Amino acid sequence: MGLLVGIPAAGLWVVNQPYPPIRRPIARTMPLLLLPSYINLDQDFRAAIALTQQSTQLIDNAASFADIEIGAQKVAEAQKRLDALPIDLLNYWDGYASWGRDWRLSPIAFNTARAEIGRLTAKVFQEQNAHTALTTAEQALNTARQQYQTATLPLDTRAAITAWRAALNQFELVPSQTLAGKTARQKLDANQQEFQETVGLAAESQQTAALIDGAKQSGMQAALMGQNPPHPTYKWAEVERLWETAIAQLASIPTTDLAGYSEARKILGGYQSNLAQIRIRRQTEENAVQLLRQAQADVSYLQGSVPQYGAGDRNDVISRLQRIVDQLEQVQPSTTVYPEAQVLLLNAKNKLNQLLPQ
């Protein structure tokens, strides 16, 4: 009797194995033999839907990172259930289409569940990364705070303040749309207040000193580059940019740092005067280059129309030569084109003297 009962049970187990070559002919001729497979299919799909709904509630409405972790576990379980579903059974037995309603497995329902799991998986990944960033920021903040408390030398204190400020900046980098980001914004306000109350004045003085040092370096570079004039226009423009950078750094020092603000004001006046002089030099160089080019163009015209200055309208030639002379006399000695302009001016005066009546 045991043998007679065991043979049908073993056969039923064989035909329900997940092998299409076995299940396909059975589904067409004796679909009831696949009833265990269809029952497992519905159970797995029901479980996948339930797990997906639970994970959606936990992840989308998380109150703590523990909810995210539990939701991630349920997402993994739901994914495992969906991966185990024998979707090919849907195409074997038309009678399955009449089973159930809302919970019935179909290609549309399967794809919808898979899309939701994909969304939840991506959100879990984002939340985990944000939580890691928040944890890193908190560790850096605690380390910087401890370094500041134990610092005995001014150099160590400045290094601790810099690290403390950098740690506060890390809180702002946590994505705000995540749970960790919302927590980071809440903690950032309290930590910034603590920072201001503990090291605010020292940090402000340190920042002011850095700005003044940077301004002095830019001013020194500008002064060195402006030595031994004349210079072409592009070089004057670079010197001008350096002075502007130095002035901007000094102007950004807050009035709350009285000592630093007073020192910056003393330096600022000299820098602004230097900038004004450089702008005049740059403009003078630009004008000189333009005057020389105009004079050269007029000389080329005269050479092309009256090569020996002896033909054509005598008065027109004299007028053009006089204009060339006037242009070249405006070229300033402090420009790069002044030597060339003087040579051209001497030639133009000689030609003009030859044409003028004695």
The CA–CA distances, whole Å, from 163 to 108, 166, 194, 269 equal 53, 5, 15, 34
Banded pLDDT at 24 (limits 50, 70, 90)? low
Asked whether the predicted pLDDT for residue 289 surpasses 90, the reply is: yes
Using alpha carbons only, give the angle 163, 164, 169 rounded to the nearest 5 degrees: 95
Contacts of 68 (CB under 8 A, 6+ apart): 58, 59, 62, 124, 127, 128, 131, 179
Q: In this predicted structure, which of 55-59, 107-111, 122-126, 252-256 has the lowest mean pLDDT?
A: 107-111
Spell out the residues 6+ positions from residue 77 whose beta carbon is closer than 8 angstroms to its own: 51
Q: Produce one character per residue of 279-293: b if its CB has 16 or more CB atoms within 10 Å, e if not.
A: bebbebbeebbebbe
Share of the chain above pLDDT 90, in %: 33
pLDDT one-digit tens code per residue, 215-248: 999 999 999 999 999 999 999 999 999 999 999 9
CB contact at 8 A, 83 and 51: no
Rg of the chain's alpha carbons, rounded to an integer?
Answer: 43
Q: What is the DSSP letter of 337?
A: T
Residue of higher predicted confidence among 57 and 228: 228
